[in-house]
Structure 1
């Protein structure tokens, strides 16, 4: 609950202390912040009768003096200018200004000078500058996520903007949690180092007074790492419910767009997947696909029993009871319909793309050695007419990441085969991935074959066997969390920023992945928190990736790198 409850508390404070009819004014990013933790019906209960975007409000001239404007905005220069214009000619009777991060003194002066009609009642900082999609998982929803792949010299302003946004999000998180961490970063990543140093400068120098919270026995840890250290996880097909929905259909701010699905009813064209609002989803979001089918059958059976009992209305008392229970009945009907639609659609995609066949080879590439068998398996799938272009590309990428040093000749054969079989394949994309995230660039032991402890662990797993061939893979993040718990995270690989060091094991660890998180990693964090006492992990990233988004970022990074390459 930690992240969700923090943001909900902010919104509760915003809305409940202002009586009367209200309009909630948001920007394109705070819309996401609010929508993942607060439903429309809850907003109505707080007398919010209108929700508008700040740029749309500024374009309209219609006066609504009976409404009080509650603005929740990021403190960007654009938003300050939009507010300035609004305050010069106010549409609403009162303005209550809440900002999701630290306001600059100059911005406060601009707002004060603009409020000539004295409509601003309060200006408050509420630190909700991140999207709390799960209790231990947040994202910054950054549109230009590929920027972290571009060398600093290519586009310095874009990289600085990217780093500034990440630092803002991290700062807001720690202000919301009322903590100041010690900071470590991945040594091999320039962008992780830059973000870590700038976050440290903000917390310990520029805004040290704001972050001067009560000292904890052991300071929390912020670890900034780079997606390119584990390019494997976002390339794999997923077989647990939440991760699978995102991989095959897509989740944005806990919503799933089903408009393209022919059989989806009008009220099911966009559905919400929230562990806070849906008990079935909460219980099953980390379950395997096979188990989900059985659990949905039980959900349908339970609903049919309730529906049958509602058909036996014979007395006035029966009717009154049905009316009382009708909202709950409607909610259950919507839930059943939503999950049946999602699982049906995913089953169809799995069959059409032969994903069980593809995924078996993916998991072998990710978890088990054997270059000859891997080459044969990938070659066979490239020749299979039923395999989609995106799956062929991912298979070659997974093979390349694993065997780039062992089999350059076979790798070139797969590149040629891929180019001839897949019309949409962008030449050199696999090579760009290796340049970005190949073995020479990575810090962690991605395949568990460098470190004796990891080799022994993999052997033990192999001897025990795995419960499900499709979910053998564990993200590199699992190793990282284990190293932190055991105090084995090497200083040489993950240096501290400045003169700050950690004595003892931290009780709170925030891991931020520059370049994006995955729902497989979010699941690993939730399971770790459920089994380890005395230490709590929170995961954050610039976006939430699935394979399509990761490949899109790679393509965009490759395009910019090519266009900026010097002419020979």
Structure 2
């Protein structure tokens, strides 16, 4: 909640202290930062009558409006501002930046303001997209770039690191904390980002981060998505994660335009725990329970609709008019959730996802190579299973048994190839901008995220405690075979709360160390988070263990974005 409230506070302060009609000017990233914490109606209440992108603004003069710019302090944005200030369209310019401005950038702005229209320049540290109370993202384009060889595109790789460091710094400036920093030993990129973040916080901008010290310093842990490639490959069965997997969520919005006949009001819908009470109560519910809860919501709405039909007196009419906005909101909310669940049910049936998911969960959570191979082969032979679902099954099998079943894995490769030739002659899957056949795609995943590259005990078969835990789970059974998987992040958080995070696997940066269990932890996943992991973080925070976690990453993944980088 603290990140959402911090971002809201920053946006609110930008707008409420400037009286009169305003235009809000944003860039391609700050538009996301604002949109997840402020609705259009709330912006209107702050007298914002126009929102424009800094790189595609009209040239029409609007001297009656005051311009509020909220931009990332990039060289591109500074150049845009230079041009805008050279021939001002607005009566006043109020400049806010989402992160630390360089002295040279401030000088450029001062030199450009020849007509003295700039009234203020401030840094408001909201350089992250606070999509949920304990979950933020940076929406990094080309999120895959760090997995490619450095010779492919060094500038993009450096831009990736710079953006990660900027976002992490802004989070801690918003929290008013300076953390000790640890990183995943097996990840060069995690080490690099950790060291650059430490240099920024403790050397270059140490004054900015000189907050009141707590007894035990907060912890920033930087880890690599490649340590857990399983979680983003799995189908999901809790509401928020399932929507992202099957329909896609972008900045808490779901695009439903591809769904047949749908009203204009519902072509894009907001799915925010801060704005939608039903979603907040059900975002972590499994699909079966969700259906019952939606039915109950529909029944309640029908009762309200019936009562509104019995308008017999002037008093009844006045009461209805007073309640009409709330009635309309409820009607829209019911329609939104029914539409999404209906569409997801169709996809589940068409792609036979319950059948696929059961085998996925067995591959992720249980042993038994022979049974797993037979189950995957049977699904590959099932013509109802989509190509991408077949590919994910082979990937999961390869990750689980890469050291044990080279012959069987080659059989699965051959089966995939024959199916591709049968159903889609000559078609190849685009992955990371290279044309790779399925076999090469699986091999690339193993090279990047195979057992030799991973730090954690992904399948619970290395550490005695995890082996015992898996055995106990097997003896007791599970409540739901479709949601038995626990992300590796769960083990990591458990290690932190119990003081068992190994220094050898997760070293500290520099001479820092930590005595005692941290009360505040930010875990940043290079390569992206998932909504399944965000759920685990929320549930962990609800246990009141004494440690509060915040999860962040470069993007929010579903299987499509993980596989195809889009």
Structure 2-normalised TM-score?
0.97
> Paired residue for 1:565?
none
> Paired residue for 1:88?
86
Find out whether 1:391 has 2:403 as its counterpart. no
The alignment partner of 1:123 has SS state of: strand
Matches within 5 A, 1:110-121: 110-121=108-119
How far apart, in 1, do the equivalents of 2:457 and 2:24 lie?
Answer: 48
> Paired residue for 2:433?
none
Q: CA deviation at 1:148?
A: 1.4
Matches within 5 A, 1:399-548: 399-422=397-420, 423=424, 424-425=428-429, 426-427=436-437, 428-548=440-560
> Paired residue for 2:25?
25
How far apart, in 2, do the equivalents of 1:32 and 1:266 lie?
Answer: 22
How far apart, in 1, do the equivalents of 2:39 and 2:205 lie?
Answer: 34
> Paired residue for 1:15?
15
The alignment partner of 1:469 has SS state of: coil
Q: CA deviation at 1:155?
A: 2.7
How far apart, in 1, do the equivalents of 2:412 and 2:271 lie?
Answer: 39
How far apart, in 2, do the equivalents of 1:158 and 1:537 lie?
Answer: 30
Q: Deviations over 1:4-34 (max 9, x none)?
A: 1110000111111000000000000000000
The alignment partner of 1:253 has SS state of: coil
> Paired residue for 1:238?
236
How far apart, in 1, do the equivalents of 2:138 and 2:484 lie?
Answer: 29
> Paired residue for 1:286?
284
How far apart, in 2, do the equivalents of 1:303 and 1:61 lie?
Answer: 47
Aligned residue pairs: how many?
Answer: 552
Find out whether 1:38 has 2:38 as its counterpart. yes
Find out whether 1:340 has 2:327 as its counterpart. no
Q: Deviations over 1:224-257 (max 9, x none)?
A: 0000000000000000000000000100000000
Alignment RMSD: 0.9
> Paired residue for 1:55?
55
How far apart, in 1, do the equivalents of 2:128 and 2:293 lie?
Answer: 33
Q: CA deviation at 1:143?
A: 1.0
> Paired residue for 2:227?
229
Q: CA deviation at 1:300?
A: 0.1
How far apart, in 2, do the equivalents of 1:142 and 1:309 lie?
Answer: 49
Q: CA deviation at 1:214?
A: 0.6
How far apart, in 2, do the equivalents of 1:325 and 1:370 lie?
Answer: 59
> Paired residue for 2:362?
364
Name which of 206, 209, 232 aligns with 2:207: 209
Q: CA deviation at 1:460?
A: 1.2
How far apart, in 2, do the equivalents of 1:152 and 1:394 lie?
Answer: 27
Question: Could you tell me whether the CA contact under 8 Å between 2:176 and 2:211 is conserved in 1?
Answer: yes
Q: Deviations over 1:68-106 (max 9, x none)?
A: 000000000110111111111100000000000000000
The alignment partner of 2:55 has SS state of: helix
How far apart, in 2, do the equivalents of 1:148 and 1:221 lie?
Answer: 24
Question: Could you tell me whether the CA contact under 8 Å between 2:360 and 2:396 is conserved in 1?
Answer: yes
The alignment partner of 1:470 has SS state of: coil
The alignment partner of 1:133 has SS state of: strand
How far apart, in 2, do the equivalents of 1:263 and 1:225 lie?
Answer: 43
How far apart, in 2, do the equivalents of 1:448 and 1:69 lie?
Answer: 55
Greater CA drift, 150-159 or 348-357: 150-159
The alignment partner of 1:251 has SS state of: coil
The alignment partner of 2:529 has SS state of: coil
Q: Deviations over 1:150-191 (max 9, x none)?
A: 133443222111100000000011001100000000000010
How far apart, in 2, do the equivalents of 1:522 and 1:436 lie?
Answer: 24
Q: CA deviation at 1:260?
A: 0.5
Q: CA deviation at 1:264?
A: 1.9
> Paired residue for 1:559?
none
Question: Could you tell me whether the CA contact under 8 Å between 2:497 and 2:545 is conserved in 1?
Answer: no
How far apart, in 2, do the equivalents of 1:269 and 1:415 lie?
Answer: 40
Structure 1-normalised TM-score?
0.96
How far apart, in 2, do the equivalents of 1:291 and 1:154 lie?
Answer: 47
Question: Could you tell me whether the CA contact under 8 Å between 2:227 and 2:449 is conserved in 1?
Answer: yes
Q: Deviations over 1:54-74 (max 9, x none)?
A: 1122xx321111100000000
Name which of 281, 293, 296 aligns with 2:294: 296
Question: Could you tell me whether the CA contact under 8 Å between 2:181 and 2:198 is conserved in 1?
Answer: yes
Q: Deviations over 1:345-388 (max 9, x none)?
A: 00000000000000000000000000000000000100100000
> Paired residue for 1:561?
none
How far apart, in 2, do the equivalents of 1:430 and 1:202 lie?
Answer: 38
Unaligned residue ranges in structure 1 (runs of 5+): 557-568
Q: CA deviation at 1:462?
A: 1.3
The alignment partner of 1:211 has SS state of: coil
Q: Deviations over 1:384-410 (max 9, x none)?
A: 000000000000000000001111000
